[in-house]
């Protein structure tokens, strides 16, 4: 339906388990694409159940050797969070010089264990081009904030661009759902194309900075959005307190006068 609405009548669409039984194959290998765009299910639980076979053992543990397409040689994602399983599938489906954009929850930026190892491998192989933080409540079905990871094969730079587009000024706050306006989208595109530091919005981090942060990609580590609060005028506050106390004393005196007149 999506393809029909966009006047694309030659799309090859397959329905199945992308991870355990990928359908886009060529000569029994994963088909390669110049451009990959996806919004996989966030932190899919039991993502590897399709590899378990007919028994579907509840205690099944996924191993890299079970995948005939060798997608998990960089690490096997945890059974309860399939985010990196989809990322690895897409990276292994990327043609030479291809590019890829994927929407994911922020947890992929900083979670450790096997996900941390996969993230380190991806960064060391110089595949990650940009991390773009989005506002919360943008997508149907979930209110959590998401991010866009942009990957590229054969990059000509080793820096990583971080964009924080989650601030209140960068989206339209709706009653039930937030929305990126055209100008908000263009701001992100312009920042990505410029690939340079923009105060409180974008930051180009060197690979050494990322390594110093133990390959943690949490956006606030790189984009400083801190707003310095105005200094408190102590003398003004003290005078305000004194005025309130004086006013309160007058009110209490008036109240005592009324109570006395009433015989209390």
> Is residue 161 domain-shared with residue 234, that is, in the same domain?
no
Q: Do 41 and 82 lie in a common domain?
A: yes
C-alpha distances (whole Å) from 219 to each of 46, 66, 127, 143, 185 are: 28, 34, 18, 19, 18
The model's pLDDT over 20-48, given as tens digits with 9 standing for 90+, comes to: 999 999 999 999 999 999 999 999 999 99
Write the pLDDT tens digit of every residue in 194-223. Answer: 999 999 999 999 999 999 999 999 999 999
Q: How far is CA 32 from the centre of its chain?
A: 25
- Tally: H helices and E strands in the chain: 6, 8
Q: What is the mean pLDDT of the chain?
A: 92
Give residue for tokens 């489906």. Answer: 93
Say what the pLDDT of residue 236 is: 86
pLDDT of residue 115: 97
Instruction: Say if residue 216 is in the same domain as residue 86.
Output: yes
Q: What angle do CA 118, 145, 155 make, to 5 degrees?
A: 40
Query: Do 162 and 103 lie in a common domain?
Result: yes
Q: Is the pLDDT assigned to residue 229 strictly greater than 70?
A: no
pLDDT band of residue 129 (cuts 50, 70, 90) is very high
DSSP H helical ranges for 204-233: 207-212
Query: Is the same domain home to 200 and 248?
Result: no
In which residue are the tokens 């399983």 written?
85
Same domain, 216 and 234: no
Domain with residue 153: its CATH number is: 3.40.50.150
Q: Tally the domains of the chain.
A: 2
Highest mean pLDDT among 89-93, 176-180, 254-258: 89-93
* Nearest by Cα to 83 from 114, 51, 123: 114
Residue 56 has a pLDDT of: 58
When mean pLDDT is compared across 10-24, 52-66, 85-99, the lowest value belongs to: 52-66
If you average pLDDT over residues 160-185, what whole number do you get?
A: 91
Query: Are both 152 and 200 inside the same structural domain?
Result: yes
Based on the domain organization, do 112 and 233 belong to the same domain?
Answer: no
Give mean pLDDT, residues 106-117.
96
Q: Indicate whether 67 and 179 sit together in one domain.
A: yes
Cα four-point dihedral sign 102, 162, 134, 189: negative
Same domain, 69 and 172: yes
CA distance 122 to 153: 11
Domain housing 167? 2-221
Termini Cα distance of the chain: 80
Q: Inform me whether the pLDDT recorded for 188 exceeds 70.
A: yes
* Least confident piece of the model among 93-102, 148-157, 167-176: 167-176
Reading the block at residue 258, the tokens are 């009324």
Residue 234 pLDDT more than 90? no
**3-class DSSP state of 15:** coil
What's the confidence (pLDDT) of residue 140? 78
DSSP 3-state of 102: strand
Same domain, 121 and 241: no
Digit-coded pLDDT (tens) for 67-103: 999 999 999 999 999 999 999 999 999 999 999 999 9
pLDDT range class, residue 228, cuts 50, 70, 90: low
Q: What is the pTM of this model?
A: 0.82
pLDDT at 224 over 80: yes
DSSP state of 106: G
> Are residues 238 and 122 part of one domain?
no
């Amino acid at each position: 339906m999506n393809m029909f609405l966009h006047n694309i009548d030659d799309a090859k669409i397959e329905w199945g388990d992308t991870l355990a039984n990928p359908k886009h194959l060529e000569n029994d290998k994963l088909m390669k694409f110049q451009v990959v765009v996806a919004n996989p299910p966030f932190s899919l639980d039991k993502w590897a159940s399709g590899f378990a076979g007919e028994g579907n053992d509840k205690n099944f543990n996924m191993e890299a050797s079970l995948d005939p397409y060798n997608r998990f040689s960089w690490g096997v994602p945890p059974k309860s969070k399939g985010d990196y399983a989809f990322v690895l599938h897409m990276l292994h489906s990327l043609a030479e010089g291809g590019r890829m954009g994927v929407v994911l929850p922020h947890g992929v930026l900083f979670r450790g264990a096997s996900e941390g190892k996969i993230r380190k491998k991806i960064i060391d192989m110089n595949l990650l081009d940009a991390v773009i933080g989005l506002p919360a409540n943008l997508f149907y079905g979930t209110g959590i904030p998401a991010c866009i990871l942009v990957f590229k094969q054969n990059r000509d730079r080793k820096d990583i661009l971080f964009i924080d587009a989650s601030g209140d000024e960068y989206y339209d706050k709706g009653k039930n759902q937030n929305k990126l306006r055209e100008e908000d989208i263009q701001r992100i595109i312009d920042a990505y194309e410029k690939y340079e530091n923009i105060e409180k919005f974008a930051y180009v981090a060197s690979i050494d900075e990322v390594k110093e942060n133990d390959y943690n990609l949490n956006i606030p580590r790189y984009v400083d959005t801190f707003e310095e609060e105005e200094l408190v005028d102590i003398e003004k506050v003290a005078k305000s307190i004194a005025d309130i106390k004086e006013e309160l004393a007058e009110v209490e005196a008036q109240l005592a006068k009324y109570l006395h007149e009433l015989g209390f």
